[in-house]
Amino acid sequence: MTKVLLNDLTVRDGNQSLLATRMEKEDVIKLVTALDKVGYNALEVWGGATFDTALRFLGESPWEILREIRKAAKNTKLSMLLRGQNLVGYRHYDNDTLERFIRLAISNGIDIIRVFDALNDMNNIENSVKFIKKYGGHCQCAISYTTSPVHTEEYFVKLARKMVDMGADSICIKDMAGIILPDAAYSLVKALKAITDIPINMHSHTTAGLTNLVMLRAMEAGVDIIDTAISPFSGGTSHIATETIIETAQDIDKPVQYDEDELDKAYDLADSLAQKYIDSGQYETRALMVNPKILHYEVPGGMLSNLMSQLQDQKMFDKLTEVLREIPRVRKDMGYPPLVTPLSQMVGTQAVLNVISGERYKMVPNEIKVYLRGGYGRFPSPVDPQVREKILGDELEGKPHSISDLKPVFDEAKKEMSDKLGREASEEEVISYILFPQFAVLENETGNESEGPVEFTMYIER
Tell whether 80 and 166 lie within a shared domain: yes
How many of the other CB atoms lie within 10 Å of CB of 359? 9
Q: What angle do CA 381, 387, 392 make, to 5 degrees?
A: 105
Q: What are phi and psi of 338, to 5 degrees?
A: -60, 140
Tell whether 254 and 373 lie within a shared domain: no
- Asked whether the predicted pLDDT for residue 1 surpasses 90, the reply is no
Judge whether 92 lies within some domain: yes
**Residue 47 three-state SS:** strand
Find out whether 212 and 240 touch, Cβ atoms under 8 Å.
yes
Judge whether 292 lies within some domain: no
Judge whether 310 lies within some domain: yes
Tell whether 236 and 370 lie within a shared domain: no
Tell whether 418 and 376 lie within a shared domain: no
Q: Output the pLDDT for position 302.
A: 60
| Domain endpoint, select from 385, 403, 421 | 403
- Asked whether the predicted pLDDT for residue 288 surpasses 80, the reply is no
- Asked whether the predicted pLDDT for residue 337 surpasses 90, the reply is yes
Q: How many folded domains does the chain comprise?
A: 3
Judge whether 315 lies within some domain: yes
- Asked whether the predicted pLDDT for residue 459 surpasses 70, the reply is no
Tell whether 376 and 345 lie within a shared domain: yes
Q: Output the pLDDT for position 316.
A: 85
Tell whether 139 and 213 lie within a shared domain: yes
Q: Output the pLDDT for position 462.
A: 36
Per the structure, the complete domain to which residue 433 belongs is given by 410-446
Judge whether 456 lies within some domain: no
Tell whether 332 and 395 lie within a shared domain: yes
Tell whether 389 and 419 lie within a shared domain: no
Averaged pLDDT score across all residues of the chain: 90
Which residue from 101, 67, 107 is spatially nearest to 87, judged by alpha carbons?
101
Judge whether 17 lies within some domain: yes
| Cis bond before residue 342 (omega within 30° of 0) | yes
Judge whether 378 lies within some domain: yes
Domain of 381, CATH number, reads: 1.10.472.90
In sequence order, the β-bridge partners of residue 205 are 239
Judge whether 294 lies within some domain: no
- Beta strand pairing status for 200-204 and 77-82? unpaired
Domain of 27, CATH number, reads: 3.20.20.70
Residue range 428-452, pLDDT digits in tens: 999 999 999 988 765 555 444 333 3
Q: How many residues comprise the chain?
A: 462
Find out whether 148 and 336 touch, Cβ atoms under 8 Å.
yes
Tell whether 191 and 59 lie within a shared domain: yes
Q: Output the pLDDT for position 286.
A: 67
Which residue from 428, 430, 427, 432 is spatially nearest to 417, judged by alpha carbons?
430
- pTM value? 0.90
Least confident of 25-39, 74-88, 147-161, 401-415: 401-415
Q: Provide the residue type at 397 as one letter.
A: E
Tell whether 268 and 311 lie within a shared domain: no
Tell whether 101 and 246 lie within a shared domain: yes
- Asked whether the predicted pLDDT for residue 305 surpasses 70, the reply is no
Residue range 228-250, pLDDT digits in tens: 999 999 998 899 999 999 999 99
Q: Which whole-number Å values give the CA distances from 202 to 20, 98, 111, 197, in the listed order?
A: 23, 26, 19, 15
Tell whether 126 and 231 lie within a shared domain: yes
